[in-house]
């Protein structure tokens, strides 16, 4: 008999680690092929992890709450006589797929003088790795333009036409960014940040390195509320949220200002503007803030947008969203008003370059043709990355967004 060491596989785009939530087996249990042995949690979702062999569990490589790096041992199984495997190997499952680790000094296909500097594991999805292998490309040599340097399929294809070796740049943390923690007296409870909350902490630290500029505006929301009533009637519902209308307004404005529907690659100092709009919707969950992504938002009507929101928000809150439903947004919207908040200051999510926020609609006295009247008023805030957009760009976008919302009935179809 031989032992099978199952390594934690890459379960999504750019996922580097996962937390063990629960073991569904114990040492001594007999497992079958594709039996789910553990539940793990990434910063995006919870995943049931199957094992690709049959045998007897010999070692559980961690306890619930432990965080494991992708490629590290998850579980060891003593293979039964009926198993097709005959030697200790690492896990290899089709979905989620396991991928090979690329470590310093272990890439035989990379010449020593190629100029490639490997600083750890290459971030790439299983499909991207498969494409690279089919094209004979050493993925370690490809410059990644995705989130956190992730290699995309487009990067692999571009490498074929211009095979320049990748040189990774090590990131350092300045001493000033590390604070000194001092204990204070009194009764207290300490807990370690895990899962989504840990990911939020890392993301916000990165986000606040962006030089933000913001513009605030208040508009007459009469048309928006009329549009909401029309949408409810169109969908044959008693009541609907204004969120799909706000998202539709963002889409219309972004199509006129593509410089905000973009992603900025800091390392390469390149801005990519997109024709298609992938809207991120900030969503509060029990585990923390998550941002499901509405793909091809420009193709959706308000009613279709509403239905898509329901699906994505439910998936995010239940932690069942797929990686593609939580990655790749080109612009994000947050609705402060859904919590009864007048307004807030949103934080841009890198590598995006802009974010819009909407507050609570409330009755206010405003001047209409020189006469004071009471009207519903919607507060708006938009933040942009000042490295990419100036105040003039920001002002133009906010003006367009306001104009669209002042005729919100046109968004209903």
Q: What are the residue numbers of the active site? A: 386, 390
For residue 399, the cross-strand partners are none
CA separation, residue 358 to residues 14, 284, 379, 383 (Å): 31, 15, 6, 12
Q: Which residue bears the tokens 């947008």?
A: 305
Among 38, 349, 45, which Cα is nearest to 196's?
Answer: 45
- Please state, in angstroms and rounded to a whole number, the distance separating the CA atoms of residues 25 and 30: 9
Structure tokens at 337: 């008003």
Give, in order, the Cα–Cα distances in Å from 195 to each of 42, 200, 315: 6, 9, 16
Please give the backbone phi and psi of residue 397, each rounded to the nearest 5 degrees, phi first: -65, -45
Work out the burial of residue 288: count CB atoms within 10 Å of its CB; fewer than 13 is exposed, 13-18 middle, 19 or more buried: middle
Contact 75, 57 (CB under 8 A): yes
Please answer whether residues 43 and 291 qualify as being in contact, where contact means their C-beta atoms are separated by less than 8 angstroms. no
Integer angstrom CA distances of residue 213 from 257, 266, 297, 343, 345: 17, 18, 25, 16, 10
Q: Which phi and psi (to 5°) does residue 248 adopt?
A: -60, -40
Burial label for 175, CB within 10 Å (0-12, 13-18, 19+), is: exposed
Residue among 223, 235, 256 at smallest CA distance from 378:
223
- Residue 166 has what DSSP assignment? P
Sheet holding 35-41, edge to edge: 46-51, 35-41, 17-23, 67-69
């Amino acid at each position: 008999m031989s032992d099978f060491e199952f390594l934690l596989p890459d379960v999504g785009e750019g996922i580097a680690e996962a937390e063990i939530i629960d073991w569904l087996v114990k040492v001594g249990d007999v497992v079958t092929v594709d039996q789910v042995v553990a539940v793990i949690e990434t910063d995006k979702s919870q995943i049931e992890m199957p094992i690709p062999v049959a045998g007897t569990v010999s070692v559980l490589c961690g306890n619930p709450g432990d965080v494991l790096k992708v490629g590290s041992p998850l579980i060891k199984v003593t293979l039964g006589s009926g198993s097709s495997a005959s030697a200790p190997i690492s896990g290899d499952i089709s979905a989620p797929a396991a991928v090979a680790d690329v470590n310093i000094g272990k890439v035989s296909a990379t010449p020593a003088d190629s100029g490639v500097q490997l600083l750890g594991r290459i971030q790439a999805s299983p499909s991207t790795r498969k494409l690279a292998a089919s094209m004979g490309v050493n993925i370690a040599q490809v410059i990644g333009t995705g989130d956190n340097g992730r290699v995309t399929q487009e990067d692999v294809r571009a490498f074929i036409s211009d095979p320049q070796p990748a040189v990774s740049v090590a990131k350092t943390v300045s001493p000033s960014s590390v604070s000194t923690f001092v204990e204070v007296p009194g009764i207290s409870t300490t807990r370690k940040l895990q899962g989504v909350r840990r990911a939020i902490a890392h993301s916000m630290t990165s986000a606040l390195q962006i030089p933000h500029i913001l513009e605030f505006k208040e508009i007459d929301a009469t048309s928006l509320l009329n549009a909401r009533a029309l949408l409810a009637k169109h969908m044959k519902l008693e009541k609907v949220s204004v969120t799909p209308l706000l998202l539709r307004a963002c889409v219309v404005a972004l199509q006129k200002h593509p410089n905000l529907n973009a992603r900025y690659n800091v390392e390469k100092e390149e801005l990519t503007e997109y024709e298609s709009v992938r809207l991120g919707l900030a969503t509060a969950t029990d585990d923390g803030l998550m941002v499901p992504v509405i793909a091809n938002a420009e193709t959706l009507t308000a009613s279709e947008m509403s239905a898509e929101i329901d699906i994505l928000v439910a998936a995010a809150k239940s932690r069942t969203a797929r990686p593609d439903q939580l990655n790749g947004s080109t612009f994000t919207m947050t609705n402060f008003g859904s919590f009864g908040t007048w307004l807030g200051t949103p934080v841009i999510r890198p590598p995006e370059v802009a974010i819009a926020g909407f507050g609570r609609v409330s009755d206010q006295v405003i001047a209409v043709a020189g006469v004071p009247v009471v009207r519903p008023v919607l507060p708006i805030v938009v933040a942009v990355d000042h490295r990419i957009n100036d105040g003039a760009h920001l002002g133009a976008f906010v003006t367009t967004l306001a104009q669209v919302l002042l005729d919100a009935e046109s968004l209903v179809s």
